[in-house]
Each structure stands twice: as structure tokens, then as C-alpha cells.
Structure 1
């Protein structure tokens, strides 16, 4: 067999062995391709140097023939191969430091990501073109100067941009604490005023969800939609059994477009949080993630159907007769279509308040507020998106809530704190209000000075709103105070306050100038009494008595066991430190790494000491035994140090 073939076989065997040794020594998932290629390069480049070293040690003669005993030659050859392995490990560690190994990605994921990048690029171009057409592009804005119709241009652009951006506009329309009134007023028109899809597309989408012709289920469907919202449009219909219903059908491209848009928004938010101070301060990534979650749930009408039935069940136990929740027809409802009882009346977004006299308007507004307040404070389940388009008023004064994509849930323990907070606000009791806030808000222990400052700010807003008769939402003012003190309300309570803020706009569609805050604070004691009814107090007392009784029943046995241990000298205490298996594992790993490093250093020092020694037997005329042994010991020490170094690199990259 030609020598070149033998050389190639030995090189391949060395490369494979070096890759295996490197992965074992470094104990990290290094790629096989990188390890084998590094081994091949080191073998090819190191072979002439290894031959020269063996000839200098008189192991090989000038012709490459072994000039010493076979056993000694085997020792030198093993040492040479070992050092070549060490060079491979050094090269791999260097490559890992400069260019860390990354796991091979799934080809399906790679192709999927390619298509997503294409969709994102296409969507970016569409958004820029839409902005430019509405005068929001950079070139046109600089050319035309300041825009006099910025709100209208923004609404037009968001409306044309589609589902996700219309939803963003809807969210921003309730943030008049951040945006100027002209913008929030314009954005509020996005609630219902969107461009409907043609009936042919809507019919095809309905039949796709039914999996049968339209006429088999519906006796009549109005081709003109009742409303066209950001995600869906609604058509009046009649079932073949005679019930009057509405069909809420999702726009055909809504889900795909929202997926691309949410991907873009989450990436932009993460980039803003990484690069800007305001992004970090507001938690842009978390806000984008929450918005994405809410929109994805809104795109699944099975969730809305479940929310509707949950709220219907809660309202059935209500004392209020002012609010109705339409029934759902689950047999015809899917993830992208909802068939629901048709509600009587007109949306408050199009309602003319001048058609009601003052007394009727006050009665209807009070009834709606009481019903919502009861949902929040007593029932714990409430409609969380009460903008005017989701509230319909019938001629007899009955109010129907629609669109249950967002439903809030407040646990009873939090409701027990919410009502005392509202009662304290009604009494202008800043001390009690501050105490309740500190019980509700998950926050570190505040110093006396910080508590006094918080109490002062809460007292100021209570006094201002009670005495100055300012048109200000007390719930939004409270949120602003907590934000200034770097305190955050629980998400469910924050949703309550935001719901009340949007409800205020709906109430003022019924009666302009309606004092929602005053009415809410006035009714708070009534609902507080309902929440702490005699029956609930008796049940609470029974529960607490049972718990205390069980603890007292077990106390004598525990005291006896403790006394027996003290008497017998077997009493012991267990430290919680390092009790967890994760903590023990961390200590074991740390001690192992330290031991490996110390042993490696010791071996290198021993190698240096042996290397400078000229005493002792000689393996060859030019190589004493002790320097040879030092080279062998140094090789082992180098490999241990390289392993410790690689672990340090890996720990730094993982942030541990």
C-alpha cells in the first residue's frame, strides 16, 4: 500500500481520536466537524515538527528509522502524540473563545425563519408605503412642513395597515394620560369604523367555518355588515330555527397578518429596550409580549365564547337587571367564527344623548355603573373592554354588553382590599388609603420617610378631587402616584382601573359630564357590605376556627416530641443553607473546578522542576529520564488547566 494512503489513514484516525479526546477533556458539546478538521490541520502541520523532535532526541536517525529500543521509541512516540493532542485542545479552546460552537439548527426551523424574514421585509415595505400615502413618511413630512391633520392621517394609516395596528390604536385611544386629547379622540374612531371586506369574501369565510353551505344553517343573512371591527365584521342573520343572531366572522387574512405584525412589534420592542432608556423604563418587551398575548387570544373566538358564558353565569347571580349578556350558539361557533344572540339597541358610539331627558340618562348611567361595579367588586368577573362600541342601549333602557375578547378576573382576596380602598377614597382618608395600597402592592419594605411621602401624594389627589371639582379620573391619578414612587399594582387590579377609565367614556355618551368617580365612591360602601355579608363572615369564622383547632390539636404531640429530644440529648437543628439540591450541586461543581485547577497547576510546576533536572538515568544520549517525565507530567497539567479554562469561558458566556 502506498505511503500516502497510510499517512491519510493515520491522519484520519488521529483526527477522530483527537476530536473524541478534546470533547472528553473539555466536557462541553463541541461540534464534531470543528474537532475533526482541527485535528487534521494539527496532524498535517505538526508531522514535520514531530519528526524533527524525534530525530533531535536520537529516537529516529536521518533516514527515519528507529535508532533506540522499541519500548523507548514507543514512549517517545506516545509523548509526541499526546502533545499533538494537547495542541488540538489548545486550538479548539482558542476557537471556542473567538467563535463559540452553536447547536446545529433544525433545517425546517431554518426554512421557516427564512419565510418569516421574507414576510417581515414585505410587511415593513407595506407599512412604510401606507405611512407615506397618508403623509406620515419622512420625505413628505419634511416637504410639507408641520401636519395640521396629524390625527386624521394617523387614523387613516392605522386603518389601512390592518388588524394589529388598528388594535394598537384602540389601546392608545384610552391613554389620554399619555397622548393629547385630539389624538385619543381620533383614535377612538377606530373602535368600529374600519373598512368591511366584500360579502363574497365574508360568505366564503363563513361557509369554510361551517363546512357546509350557508343556507343549511341560516334562513337569512344580511350582506351589509352591522359593524366592521379591527379583527372581524358582524352580520345580522336568522337561524333556520327562527332565532335572530349575529355572525362574527374573522377577516380571512387577520391571523396571518397579525402573526407577522406581532413578530415585528416584539423585535422592535426588544431592540428599544436594549438600546433606549425609555424602553427599559417602561419595559417595552414585556408590554409587547402582553399585547401579543391579548391579540392572539382575541383571534381565538373559542376563548371569547368561554368568556361570554362565564360572564353570563356571573350576571345570572347579580342583583342588577340593567345589563344583559347575549347567549352563544356553540354548535355553530369555531375558533374564527362566533354565532351569538342578536342584541337589541344601538352602540353608544353612535348614540345621540340628546334623545334622553336628564333623569332617564342619569338612571341608565347609574344602572350601568352599578352593574359593572358589581361585576368587579362582588362577582369578581367583569367585561374588561367597555369602550362605547361594546355597549348597546335599547329603547327600554336595557344595556347589552358585547365583544368578550377581554374579560377580567379579580380574586376574592384582592376584592377584599379593593373595596376598603374605595371606601377610604370616598371618606378622603389618606391614611387608610395608603395602608390598603401598601397591603395590595407587592413592594419592598418602605422606610417611614417613603411611606410619609406616598401618603402625602395620595392625600393631595384625594383632597384635590373632592374639593376642587376637577374633571380628573381618580384611578388614573392613583396609578400615576404609584408610578412616581416606583410601585406597581397587581395586573388584575390595574386592569380594573383601566376598565373603569374606559367605562367613564361610555357613561358620558349617555350623559355628558357624568361624575363616574363620585358615583363609584358613593356606592362603594354598599358593595362592601354585600361582600362581607353575615353568611360569608360565618363561613370565614368557621374556616379559621377549623384551621386553628387543627393546629392546637397537633400542638401537644409536637411539644412532647420536642421535650423528649431535649431530655434524651437528641435535639438537633437543621440549617436551611445548601439544603436545596441545586445549591449543593453548585458547591460540588465549584469545589471540583477548584480542585482541577490546583492539580493542573501542581502538575505544571512539577513538570518545570523535572524539566531542569539533569540527574538520573538517560533514555537516549540526549534525553534524560526526568525531563522526559516532566514533559509527560506537564502534558497532564496542561490538559487539566485547559479544561478549567474552557469551563470558565462557558460560565461567562452563559452568564452564571
Structure 2
């Protein structure tokens, strides 16, 4: 057999066996290609050194084998073992510097390739839009250029599409973060957007109906009544004569939102890795919540269900009734809604003199009462009360539209929200602090209640004495964040909704003090929440629970006393109760044991290797140094395996 063919076969065999064993030994998803290439390079690179070692050990002399075959095989196995150890060390080093990623199935690879293409194309579009509207580095530019920034940003967001318009709408409610000029500019995104041409809208409506439009609608206007970020609305008349509006989703909205959300999530992760402010604000969590809300908004079946639920809640209110348009559910689909037409003017487009001052004040007070009752008494409320979603009807009533976001506030939160506002109205900082602690989950390190009460008291004093416009909810959230207290998400949604409502009401009554009015009405809603029937049912339930607990107490005491008497009483540590925690402990103990054994074997091997005792296997190699090399090899492999396990635990993959 030619020498080159023998070397080739040995190389292939060594690479295959080394790759398989190293992947099993390191207990990691090391790629086959990486393992095979590493083993091949190590084997070929070690051949000259192997020949030199055999010559120095008097195993071979030129082309002749000097010693017996069993000893030759032992030396060959030892050399191959050390080659394998080098392969493992190189693989661990490469994994540390450049972790390998397992290859997915072909379908996933192709889908990811298309997504990367879509992201790259979308990145280019966004950059082009920003450049076209003059959004660059404003440092050092003129005052006129900086003054034009808000409007340029709004124009760019509107052109960028659904996701960025919606993002602008969300940012327009963050008066605690953005300056006033940006807030005012972004608020214009609440209603107006570039409409899609009628042929596209007509095709989308026909596709959702699944039949010719003329079979359902006697007439439909080609010019949209409004064009929002996700959909546009057309006035129409059913063949039965009802005047309706058709809300049709933009055909490209879903695909574009998917790509844009992917981009935003990647940017958020990168921002958290690179900046401390993004990590402090939880950029990834914020984008995740924004992504969930926007994805849900694209499913109009959710909006139809929200509409009917809010209609039921409003029907039970005692405040000024807010109108909810009727929905023709049999014509509604995932991407289209057909509902009753509301004739009126959105709060955002009301002229300054639309109502005389007294009537305007009565109107906004009534709207506040109705919304507050939805939140505090019913627990179901419209969660997106921007000026475009509140309509002043021709008959003087106020209607709500766009029910993509409806909030739910559980009874346990409602029982504390109204007392909190009542405590603020009564200037009782101690009661307000106690309620805040009940509402929030304190940090495990503990809360300085004295300091918290002092800060809450300062907020109450400031709100009661400051002029209209002081946002008690923003001040309270800032204080809670300072004291590391987590507000429940449902209550955060309430505060955000009230912030949006305040901006809408000030379109009707400039400078309207919504917080002050809400505080004066809090005692009224506290009384309305009291009901003899509800109190009796609650007392009956609590009494039944207490009786059941008392009934079971003797049995529990008897079980404890019997366990003590028999010596079987035990305490279970919940910290290590789960299977995952036990596996973590077992893995950690196994790693420590492997490390200790590896260190012992390596030290023993070194001690034997530097000795010259034992019978001679060849003229220059004694038995003890040979055994030391074997034992040291085993210890080295154990240490490398422990190191790899430690690196995986550090990276959170173990």
C-alpha cells in the first residue's frame, strides 16, 4: 500500500473517531465540520513530531521498527491519545472565542435567509426615508433645522408605515420622557396617515367578503373617511339600508409589521448589550410588549370581542353613557370590521369655539366620570383614549371608536385604586403609602417605608397646591421606580389610559385639571362600589373559607404531633424542591468531583513522568514515565471537560 494512501486512511479514521468522541466528551453541540477539520489539522501537523518522538524513544530506526509489536502499539495509542487531547483543547478554545451554532433544518435556513433579505431591504428603506426628510445628525445645525425636527420626524414616521406610526402614537403619550414640541408633533399621528388607493382597498374588501361587494353593500365611498396607521375607513350603506363604516386593514400591513418588529427587537437587544440606559429601561421587555399589542391589534376578531365586552360594561354604568357603535359580526373577519356609522367630529379636530365654556366643562366632566366608572367600578375600559378615538356626535353625545386596546382591571386592584385616590384627596400620606405597598411587590431587599411615605407625602402636597396640569400618576410612578417597587401591569395600563384621556379632554377644555376633578370624585366612586349584596356575598365567602380552615386545623395538628412522636417530622427545603434545581446541584457536584479527580491524576502523572523508575520498555523509556504520560492524559481530559462545563454554565447554556 502506498504511504500516502496509508496516511490518508489514518487521517480520515483519526478525524472521524476524534470528532465523535470529542463531541460526546465535551457534552456540547460542537459542529461536526469544526470537529473534523480540527482533528485533521492536528493529526497532519503532529506527524513529524510523532516520528521524532518514536525515534528518540528508540521505537523506530529509520524505516525499521526496533522493539516488539505490543510495546509499539502501546506507544502508538499513547501518541494518538495526546493528539486527541490537543484536538479537545483546540475545540474548547475555539468554542470560547467563537461558539458554534447548530445548523437548523433546510426550511428554517431558507426562511431565515428570506427574513435577512427582507430586513436588509427594510433597513435600506428606513434609511432612505430618514435621509429624504432630513433626519441626520442635528449636532451643530442651525436653530431653524432643529426647530424643523419634530415635523420632519412625524413625516418620516408616517411614510415608514404601520409599525412606526404606531410607535409614534405610543411615544406621543410619554410626556415624562420626550419634550413638549415632539409630543405635540407626534400627537398628529393619532388619526391621519397616507391612504391606500381605492383599487387596493376594493380588492381587500372583496377578498375578505369572499363574494362581490354589490351583494353586501348598496353603496360604498371610494374616498376614505379616515386613514389610520393599520387600516382605513370607508363610509358605506348595506343593501338592507343601514349606514355603516368599513374598516379594512392595509394589505401590506401584516408582512411589514412582522419585518419591522423583527428589526425593533434586534435593535433593542443590541441596545441593552451596548448601553446601560437601555438595560435600565428594559428596552427588550418594552419592545416585546409593543410587539404583542401591535400583533393583537392586527387581528380584528379581538377588536370585535372587545367592542361587545365594553358595550356590556357601559350599559351598566350610572354616569354619562358613552355610545359604542353596533357591530355586524357576520361581516367581520380577521382583517375587516363592518360597524354602525357614527356622525360627529373627533376631539382632535374640534374647533376652539365648538362648545360654549359651561357646556364644554360639563361634557368633559361627564366623560371623565364615565371612564372612571369603567375603570374603578366595572373593571373594563377603553385603553386607547387619544383624541381621535373620542367622537362628539351631532346629537351632543360622545362615542368611542377603535376598540383594539381594551383594558381589564381585576377586583383586587379596583378595591385599592379608589382608596388610593381618596387618600390623596384627603391629604393622608400614611394611608396612601400603605395602599401603595399593597398594590406593589416590594424588592426582596426591603423597602424603606419611612422614606417612601415622605416621598408620597411630598407628591400629595405638590399636587394639592400646584396649578392644574400636575400629573400625579407620573410623579407616583417615578417615586415607585426610585424605591424599586413594581407596579402591576394592569394598573400601569390604567395610568397610561388616564394620561391619554387627559390630553384628549384638554382639546375640549384647554388646561383642564383632570387629576383634580378625579380626586374630588373619588369619594363618590368609593361609595358606589359599596353594595349590601356584594358585601354580604363577600362576607359569606370569607366566612366559608375561615370555617373550612378551622375545620381542618385539628387534623393538621394531629398529623404534626404524630410525626413528632414517631420521629418522622421533617422540613422540606423549597429552594431545592424542583427537578431543575436538583439537576443543577448534581451537575455542580459532578463538575467539582471531575475537577478534583483530574487535578489528582494530572499531578500523579507529572510525578511519575519525571521519575526514571520501573523496568525499561525501550532503551531510553522506563515504565513509570510511560504510565505517568497515560495518567496525565486522563487527568488533562477531565480538566478540559470541566472547563468546558464551567464555560457553558457561565454563558447560561448548561
TM-score by length of 2: 0.92
Q: Which residue of 1 aligns with 2:628?
A: 630
State the Cα distance separating 1:324 from its structure 2 match: 1.8
State the Cα distance separating 1:577 from its structure 2 match: 5.0
Q: Which residue of 2 aligns with 1:564?
A: 562
SS at structure 2 position matched to 1:385: coil
Q: Distance in 1 between matches of 2:609 and 2:488?
A: 69
Task: Give deviations 1:482-532, integer Å, cap 9, x for gaps.
Answer: 344444422211211221122123323344444422332222222222323
Q: Distance in 1 between matches of 2:481 and 2:367?
A: 30
Contact 1:141 1:147 survives alignment (8 Å)? no
State the Cα distance separating 1:389 from its structure 2 match: 1.1
State the Cα distance separating 1:366 from its structure 2 match: 2.7
Q: Distance in 1 between matches of 2:45 and 2:606?
A: 26
State the Cα distance separating 1:148 from its structure 2 match: 4.2
Within-5 A mapping of 1:245-260: 245-260=244-259
Within-5 A mapping of 1:268-279: 268-279=267-278
Q: Distance in 2 between matches of 1:353 and 1:161?
A: 32
Q: Distance in 2 between matches of 1:512 and 1:599?
A: 78
Q: Distance in 2 between matches of 1:650 and 1:140?
A: 44
1:578 aligns with 2:576: yes
Q: Which residue of 2 aligns with 1:19?
A: 19
Q: Which residue of 1 aligns with 2:652?
A: 654
State the Cα distance separating 1:140 from its structure 2 match: 12
Deviates more, 1:219-228 or 1:407-416: 219-228
The 3 A distance-change label for structure 1 pair 73 and 497 is closer
The 3 A distance-change label for structure 1 pair 47 and 206 is same
Aligned length: 654
State the Cα distance separating 1:54 from its structure 2 match: 3.1
The 3 A distance-change label for structure 1 pair 98 and 393 is closer
SS at structure 2 position matched to 1:142: coil
Contact 1:14 1:40 survives alignment (8 Å)? yes
SS at structure 1 position matched to 2:218: strand
The 3 A distance-change label for structure 1 pair 575 and 140 is closer
The 3 A distance-change label for structure 1 pair 229 and 552 is same
Contact 2:443 2:484 survives alignment (8 Å)? no
Q: Which residue of 2 aligns with 1:289?
A: 288
Contact 2:173 2:183 survives alignment (8 Å)? yes
Contact 1:219 1:239 survives alignment (8 Å)? yes
Contact 1:376 1:382 survives alignment (8 Å)? yes
Contact 2:468 2:513 survives alignment (8 Å)? no
Task: Give deviations 1:192-247, integer Å, cap 9, x for gaps.
Answer: 22222222221112112222221121111112211111211111111222222110
SS at structure 2 position matched to 1:388: coil
The 3 A distance-change label for structure 1 pair 573 and 249 is closer
Q: Distance in 2 between matches of 1:411 and 1:435?
A: 19
SS at structure 1 position matched to 2:368: helix
Q: Distance in 1 between matches of 2:487 and 2:573?
A: 35
Q: Which residue of 2 aligns with 1:551?
A: 549
Q: Which residue of 2 aligns with 1:212?
A: 211
Q: Which residue of 2 aligns with 1:477?
A: 475
Q: Which residue of 2 aligns with 1:81?
A: 80
State the Cα distance separating 1:608 from its structure 2 match: 3.0
Q: Distance in 1 between matches of 2:292 and 2:436?
A: 28
Q: Which residue of 1 aligns with 2:525?
A: 527
1:153 aligns with 2:147: no
Within-5 A mapping of 1:76-475: 76-138=75-137, 142=141, 146-320=145-319, 322-352=321-351, 354-444=353-443, 450-475=448-473
Task: Give deviations 1:382-426, integer Å, cap 9, x for gaps.
Answer: 001111211112233322110011111111100111010111122
Deviates more, 1:327-336 or 1:403-412: 327-336
Deviates more, 1:637-646 or 1:431-440: 637-646
The 3 A distance-change label for structure 1 pair 327 and 584 is same
SS at structure 1 position matched to 2:187: helix
State the Cα distance separating 1:440 from its structure 2 match: 0.9
Q: Structure 2 stretches of 5 or more lacking a match?
A: none
Contact 1:135 1:141 survives alignment (8 Å)? no
1:594 to 580, 592, 595: 592
State the Cα distance separating 1:17 from its structure 2 match: 1.8
The 3 A distance-change label for structure 1 pair 365 and 164 is same
Q: Distance in 2 between matches of 1:542 and 1:576?
A: 34
The 3 A distance-change label for structure 1 pair 285 and 80 is closer
Contact 2:608 2:624 survives alignment (8 Å)? yes
Contact 1:464 1:470 survives alignment (8 Å)? no
Q: Which residue of 2 aligns with 1:68?
A: 67
Contact 1:375 1:381 survives alignment (8 Å)? yes
Q: Which residue of 2 aligns with 1:500?
A: 498
Q: Distance in 1 between matches of 2:189 and 2:571?
A: 65
The 3 A distance-change label for structure 1 pair 566 and 166 is closer
Contact 1:454 1:485 survives alignment (8 Å)? yes
SS at structure 2 position matched to 1:223: coil
Q: Distance in 2 between matches of 1:331 and 1:451?
A: 55
Task: Give deviations 1:463-497, integer Å, cap 9, x for gaps.
Answer: 34334443323333333433444444222112112
Q: Structure 1 stretches of 5 or more lacking a match?
A: none
Calculate the aligned-residue CA RMSD, in Å.
2.8
Contact 2:468 2:516 survives alignment (8 Å)? no
1:38 aligns with 2:42: no
Within-5 A mapping of 1:608-619: 608-619=606-617
